[in-house]
């Protein structure tokens, strides 16, 4: 307790010291303002336009800066940090190519509603618009994929802008905010006075819902015979997982969680039906098609969930709870719209729900379906099956790891076979489907949670897009356990070419990929390989017990497919079930 009080005191003293008015440079204002916003880790890559900022960082110890090996690695790491912690992720890059290398990561965060503050340098204000060396209009380039952006003209504006940026990024529907700082602004001397309040004209996200709409929801539940909840990432981002569990317990309504909603509701609960959509469970997909009331809580009605829109949930009255009014009715006609923060809406609803939905037959039918139609695959004692690998990882980690993934077949197998009982334990690129995201996002997740096991599951394709970030794991002893499901092919593309393009395999062979064990060792990271079950379990246990970072390559068969699968143009109950059926 004494140590804790001392820590709190030292933090308060630091904040008091940093808040004192003083004439300093724009760069120093930036660093002080970040600390005042609670930032403890920044991911970045220096260059000419941000050299004043990096000069101010010399000897600076009030937050940690991780030098990644590529700007895309920096922003994906900031993204993983934000998803795994609930705090705002921060990254810095220089002008021109440094800034444009962040674009994919900004779009990734924007699509998945992840709060980031992205800081870029720019050429001096006198050179803007002259096509100067390493000049790019990054605010213009990123306008469609940011919540807001700032081009800073005066150093005196920085305290307000930074305070506003963090507020915008982490309120309402969360997302990335970009701050572009010209080089002369970062060098300019001015009086620093920290911003204390935020007042942004026209920006007032609706947090508390219209009570009449919540009453309509409760009446619809009372009248329904086959109600169903579809919960998405909005539950996780709002911190509403406990309220969701209470709502389900009180109402007795079965629930399915989207890809980004995994962990929002405990997978061990009886009423959880799994994930819906293109690679969702048989029970989840059929429950949506049979429901007479579908309650969407913080999900986007993405096409990977809905399948053919004209045939989606054909029997259901649709309720949509979302903090972003633009999402309601955008893809699926909505009968009861509820605009508000998911956590707040559920808190209000939970005060009123005092009975379970009259749906005993519905619950019994879905419970039987879960038993009859689980995820299945044909196992092998000769070859290593990727589904078995994920099950083994779940078993040996006891489901307690933070799991990040890249994009592709391994991502879907991880979503299907690793069970999540806690929010912010699942980090994956959903809306944009960004290859190269999985490994650097794990670095950010580990920095946010130094005491938890972080496992990054990747394919052999995506791993090669950001493999260079192994360097910072080795240098900083970041103990991420990197899993590579190596099938020597672009697996999801191959699966589509097999099933939809009549076996016309075009440019998917990843032959010539590196020896991943040697690659890991070249960076100073422990490397392991397994090609059968006995080896797989043994090397995984060794990797888990290794105190630093480790890379574990699991060599699996090339032609394994992810099932079930809903092909484009089909309704979600028209599933290809695979050879196991």
DSSP E strands in 207-311: the ranges are 227-231, 255-257, 293-297
In the chain, the largest separation of any two C-alpha atoms, in whole Å, equals 72
With H, G, I as helix, E, B as strand and everything else as coil, classify residue 545: helix
pLDDT tens sequence across 7-53: 545 667 777 777 788 999 999 999 999 999 999 999 999 999 999 99
Residues 6+ apart with CB under 8 A from 455: 393, 397, 401, 402, 403, 404, 442, 480, 481, 483
Banded pLDDT at 271 (limits 50, 70, 90): very high
Identify whether 490 is preceded by a cis peptide bond (ω within 30 of 0). no
Residue 134 annotated to the active site: yes
d(CA 217, CA 220): 5
pLDDT of residue 44: 98
- 154 vs 190: CA distance, rounded Å: 9
Catalytic residue among 60, 63, 134, 317: 134
Q: How confident is the model at residue 354 (pLDDT cuts 50, 70, 90)?
A: confident
Q: How many CA atoms lie within 13 A of 235 on its CB side?
A: 32
- Which of 133, 211, 225, 577 is catalytic? The answer is 133
133 is catalytic: yes
Given a contact cutoff of 8 angstroms between Cβ atoms, the answer to whether 263 and 421 are in contact is yes
Is 135 an annotated catalytic residue?
Answer: no
Distances in Å between the Cα of 241 and the Cα atoms of 265, 342, 423, 454 are 6, 9, 7, 21
Q: Which residue has the tokens 């993934």?
A: 405
Tally Cβ neighbours within 10 Å of residue 513: 16
Instruction: Please spell the DSSP secondary structure of 54-85, one letter per residue.
Output: HHHTTT--SSEEEE-SSHHHHHHHHHHHHHHH
Report d(CA 350, CA 354) in Å as an integer. 8
CA–CA dist 378, 187 (Å, integer): 63
Measure Cα distances from 290 to 329, 362, 565 in Å: 20, 10, 19
Of residues 71, 243, 469, 560, which has the active-site annotation?
71
pLDDT tens readout for residues 117-162 = 999 999 999 999 999 999 999 999 999 999 999 999 999 999 999 9
Pull the structure tokens for residue 85.
């912690």
**The pLDDT value given to residue 219:** 95
Q: Judging by beta carbons within 10 Å of its beta carbon (0-12, 13-18, 19+), is residue 250 exposed, middle or buried?
A: middle
Residue 71 among the catalytic residues: yes
Vertex 401: Cα angle to 284 and 434 (nearest 5)? 65
- DSSP code for 229: E
Token pair belonging to 276: 């819906």
Which domains, and CATH codes, for the chain? 14-192 (3.40.50.970), 211-372 (3.40.50.1220), 386-562 (3.40.50.970)
147 is catalytic: no
State the chain's mean pLDDT as an integer. Answer: 96
Evaluate if residue 115 carries a pLDDT over 50.
Answer: yes
Name the active-site residue from 174, 183, 343, 533.
Answer: 183
């Amino acid at each position: 307790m004494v140590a804790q009080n001392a820590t709190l005191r030292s933090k308060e003293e630091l904040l008091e010291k940093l808040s004192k008015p003083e004439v300093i440079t724009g760069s120093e204002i930036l660093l002080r303002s970040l600390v005042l916003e609670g930032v403890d880790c920044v991911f970045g890559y220096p260059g000419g336009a941000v050299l004043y900022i990096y000069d101010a960082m010399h000897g600076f110890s009030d937050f940690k800066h991780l030098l990644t090996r590529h700007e895309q690695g920096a922003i994906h790491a900031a993204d993983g940090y934000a998803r795994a912690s609930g705090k705002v992720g921060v990254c810095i890059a220089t002008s021109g190519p440094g800034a444009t290398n962040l674009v994919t990561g900004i779009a990734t965060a924007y699509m998945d509603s992840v709060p980031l503050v992205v800081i870029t340098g720019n050429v001096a204000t006198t050179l803007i618009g002259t096509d100067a060396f390493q000049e790019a209009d990054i605010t213009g380039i990123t306008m469609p994929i940011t919540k807001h952006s700032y081009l800073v003209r005066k150093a005196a504006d920085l305290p307000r802008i930074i305070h506003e940026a963090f507020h915008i990024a982490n309120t309402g529907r969360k997302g990335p905010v970009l701050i572009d700082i010209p080089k002369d602004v970062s060098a300019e001397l001015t009086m620093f006075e920290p911003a204390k309040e935020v007042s942004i004209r026209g920006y007032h996200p609706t947090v508390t819902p219209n009570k009449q709409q919540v009453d309509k929801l409760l009446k619809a539940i009372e009248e329904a015979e086959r109600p169903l909840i579809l919960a998405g990432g909005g539950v996780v981002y709002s911190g509403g997982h406990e309220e969701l569990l209470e709502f389900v317990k009180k109402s007795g309504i079965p629930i399915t969680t989207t890809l980004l909603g995994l962990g929002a509701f405990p997978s061990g609960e009886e009423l959880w039906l799994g994930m819906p959509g293109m690679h969702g469970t048989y029970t989840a997909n059929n429950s949506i098609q049979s429901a007479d009331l579908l309650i969407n809580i913080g999900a986007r009605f993405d096409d990977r969930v809905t399948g053919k829109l004209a045939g989606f949930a054909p029997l259901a009255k649709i309720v949509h709870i979302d903090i972003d009014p633009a999402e309601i009715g955008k893809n699926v006609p909505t009968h009861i719209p509820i605009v508000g923060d998911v956590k707040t809406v559920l808190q209000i609803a939970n005060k009123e729900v005092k009975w379970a939905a009259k749906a005993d037959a519905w619950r019994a039918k879905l419970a039987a379906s879960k038993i009859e139609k689980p995820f299945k695959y044909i196992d092998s004692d000769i070859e290593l099956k990727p589904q078995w690998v994920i099950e083994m990882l779940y078993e040996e980690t006891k489901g307690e790891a933070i799991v990040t993934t890249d994009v592709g077949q391994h991502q879907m197998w991880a979503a299907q076979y690793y069970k999540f009982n806690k929010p912010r334990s699942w980090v994956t690129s959903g809306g944009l489907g960004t290859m190269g995201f999985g490994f650097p996002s794990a670095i950010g997740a580990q920095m946010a949670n130094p005491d938890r096991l972080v496992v990054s599951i990747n394919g052999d394709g995506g791993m090669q897009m950001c493999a260079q970030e192994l360097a910072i794991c080795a240098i900083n002893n970041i103990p991420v356990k990197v899993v590579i499901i190596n099938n020597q092919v672009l697996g999801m593309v191959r699966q589509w070419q097999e099933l939809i393009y009549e076996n016309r395999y075009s440019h998917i062979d990843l032959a010539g990929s590196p020896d991943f064990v040697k690659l890991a060792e070249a960076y100073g990271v422990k490397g392991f390989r397994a090609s059968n079950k006995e080896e797989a379990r043994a090397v995984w246990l060794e990797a888990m017990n290794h105190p630093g970072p480790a890379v574990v390559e699991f060599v699996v068969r090339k032609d394994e497919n992810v099932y079930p699968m809903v092909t484009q143009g089909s309704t979600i109950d028209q599933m290809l079930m695979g050879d196991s059926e």
